[in-house]
Amino acid sequence: MTRRKKIYEGKAKILYEGPEPGTLIQYFKDDTTAFDATKKAVLEGKGVINNRISEYIMTRLNSIGVQNHFIKRLNLREQLIREVEIVPLEVVCRNIAAGQFSTRFGVPEGQALPRSIIEFYLKDDKLHDPMVAEEHITAFNWATTQEIDDIMALTLRVNDFLTGMFGAVGIRLVDFKLEYGRLYEGDMVRTVLADEISPDCCRLWDVQTNEKMDKDRFRRDLGNVTEAYVEVARRLGIVKQAAAGGESVH
Ligand code: ADP
Ligand code: MG
């Protein structure tokens, strides 16, 4: 195989040069980090399952007109994507209080929010991804007012779709994080969804038992992390059964 140029290595994925200009290959690692990468582990098979879940969700979002960077899955760990200029924001959408939100605002974990709330965090590990307001975003040109409007509208559409999709298989979508990018096409620039959508960046609770089926299993040392991700994929019909040898999450 020809040696591909590595463009970027992040905490959970690697980006390689793609086969054509304007494309990249996104490789899903098993590496997992939390709390500003102070907590680290390698969870065998996690990258494989996230590659599949993200493929599934991005494909379904594309089919309802939410444009994104996904082109096609290449193999177990890699997908071909369109290269975008990442908007340096982590866009968080919350339906139920949990995690940082509960700590920051004193709202008990599990309490339904009066409406979905979108928050912006600056994507900057050195600064520990501080929460930012529209004022900061536009003043520092991290995104324009138009981009913020587009991002909010798209995020609410993604939230509606994912809430229904997970709800149909007995999973509550508590919150999730998205990243967006600028896709340049000639003189045109479009805001599209990028990065990944997987249990690494969503909070997913079993509707019946409230059992966590996401990265909080890793953050809170609950065990069976990959097994829970596989169960999410199984319920969505992406994989047929739980991985051989893996303990059930129930
Ligand atoms: P990080 O540690 O920075 O979160 P990841 O391990 O998540 O990195 O690797 C993915 C990186 O690639 C992220 O920095 C993300 O912003 C970036 N990225 C995701 N999708 C695209 C894309 N379509 N084009 C360019 N960069 C992308
Ligand atoms: Mg990331």
CA separation for the pair 57, 52 (Å, rounded): 9
Residue pLDDT, tens place only, 14-57: 999 999 999 999 999 999 999 999 999 999 999 999 999 999 99
**Per-residue confidence (pLDDT) for residue 246, from 0 to 100:** 46
Answer whether 13 contacts ligand 1 (Cβ < 6 A): yes
Of all helices (H) and strands (E), which one includes residue 41?
strand 39-42
- Is the distance from the beta carbon of residue 15 to the nearest atom of ligand 1 less than 6 Å? yes
Q: How confident is the model at residue 3 (pLDDT cuts 50, 70, 90)?
A: confident
What is the position in ligand 1's atom list of the atom closest to the CA of 15? Answer: 12
Q: Tell which residue, 107, 108, 202, 217, has the closest CA to residue 163.
A: 202
* Mean pLDDT, rounded, for 130-144: 98
- Ligand 2 centroid–CA 10 distance in Å is 7
CB distance 81 to ligand 1 below 6 Å: yes
Q: Write down the pLDDT at residue 49.
A: 98
At 142, the amino acid letter reads W
**Start-to-end CA span in the chain (Å):** 42
The pLDDT of residue 250 is 42
Residue 241 pLDDT: 73
pLDDT higher than 50, residue 249: no
Tell me if 93 sits within 8 A of 178, measured CB to CB: yes
State the chain's maximal CA–CA distance in angstroms.
53
Write out the two tokens for 250: 């129930």
Ligand 2 midpoint to CA 12 (Å): 6
Per DSSP, the three-state class of 241 is coil
Query: Is the shortest distance between the CB of 212 and ligand 1 below 6 Å?
Result: no
Rounded Cα distance between 147 and 191, Å, is 7
pTM of the complete model: 0.95
Q: Is 225 close to ligand 1, i.e. is its CB under 6 Å away?
A: no
Decide whether any atom of ligand 1 lies within 6 Å of the 86 Cβ: yes
pLDDT at 151: 98
Nearest residue CA, atom 3 of ligand 1?
A: 10
DSSP state for residue 127 in the 8-state scheme:
G
pLDDT the model gives residue 173 = 99
Which ligand places an atom closest to the C-alpha of 12? 1
Per-residue model confidence as pLDDT tens digits over 88-104: 999 999 999 999 999 99
Tell me which residue has its CA closest to atom 14 in ligand 1: 10
pLDDT digits 0-9 by tens, 207-239: 999 999 999 999 999 999 999 999 999 999 999
Closest CA to 62 of 173, 240, 197, 202: 197
Q: What residue owns the CA closest to ligand 1's atom 27?
A: 195
CA dist., res. 204 & res. 171, Å (int): 6
Chain Cα centroid distance, residue 141: 24
Is the pLDDT at 2 greater than 80? The verdict is: no
> Would the CB of 233 count as within 6 Å of ligand 1?
no
d(CA 133, CA 130): 10
Residue 93's CB is within 10 A of a number of other CB atoms, namely: 21
